[in-house]
Chain A
Amino acid sequence: AQTVTQSQPEMSVQEAETVTLSCTYDTSESDYYLFWYKQPPSRQMILVIRQEAYKQQNATENRFSVNFQKAAKSFSLKISDSQLGDAAMYFCAYRSAEGLFVSGDKIIFGKGTRLHILP
């Protein structure tokens, strides 16, 4: 079974600085998708960025980028020029893309990293 591990329960970063959130996963599959979700305090969870395992190029969305190391099974999120609005719980997530269609397209989530932005 696949697992997703976020080893940093909490992190803090100074406003305007850069921070990297770590995520490792375990799988025997070669084709899958990885996601970072953001859950601001008292607000809905939203997708930050996604990566398809077959793509070697790291995904980027504005100030958010990932460092995808497939062999190491590592998928870290880098936030550049941190802003107060980046304060949130961040979840790393995995979804399989292999095999026959299986109902549900389940996503496996890590336990999350709470990010604090210091003004």
Chain B
Amino acid sequence: DVKVTQSSRYLVKRTGEKVFLECVQDMDHENMFWYRQDPGLGLRLIYFSYDVKMKEKGDIPEGYSVSREKKERFSLILESASTNQTSMYLCASSLAGRNLAHEQYFGPGTRLTVT
């Protein structure tokens, strides 16, 4: 079974703090993704990575950065947390291949509260 794990289920941080959210997958997937999920807005893509050290901006990258130093690990960084970044953060991974119906596998999510 594919496993995608996230470092914390719940996190409370103060405004201005630097926040690290970690995601690890154990299936040698090339692609990894970070989403944020808010009520009524669905899932919005923040960043994704298709290889080690490779990354691309998603739909809402402002205020976030990412790091992928190893294939299995993809980190989301909030350089200076703000209250409007209070949200559920979901990590996902998938195999690469445009012509194949690869699904994304999701982690359990991290509910981040910024006070």
What residue of chain B has the Cβ atom nearest to residue A34's Cβ? B101
Task: Say whether A103 contacts B107, CB under 8 Å.
Answer: no
Task: Say whether B42 contacts A102, CB under 8 Å.
Answer: no
- Which residues of chain B come closer than 8 Å to A96, judged between CB atoms? 98
- Which residues of chain B come closer than 8 Å to A106, judged between CB atoms? 33, 45, 48, 58
Q: Interface size on B (CB < 8 Å)?
A: 30
Q: Mark A20-36, 1 if CB is under 8 A from B, else 0.
A: 00000000000001010
- Which residues of chain A come closer than 8 Å to B51, judged between CB atoms? 103
A46 within 8 A of B: yes
How far is B50's CA from A45's CA once the two chains are assembled, in angstroms? Answer: 21
- Which residues of chain B come closer than 8 Å to A102, judged between CB atoms? 98
A-B contacts, 26 listed (Cβ < 8 Å):
A9-B40, A35-B103, A43-B108, A44-B4, A44-B107, A45-B90, A45-B92, A47-B104, A52-B101, A91-B42, A96-B98, A98-B98, A99-B98, A101-B96, A101-B97, A103-B50, A103-B51, A104-B33, A104-B49, A105-B31, A105-B98, A105-B102, A106-B33, A106-B58, A110-B42, A111-B40
Residues in B lying within 8 Å of A, measured CB to CB: 4, 31, 33, 40-43, 45, 48-51, 54, 56, 58, 90, 92, 94, 96-99, 101-104, 106-109
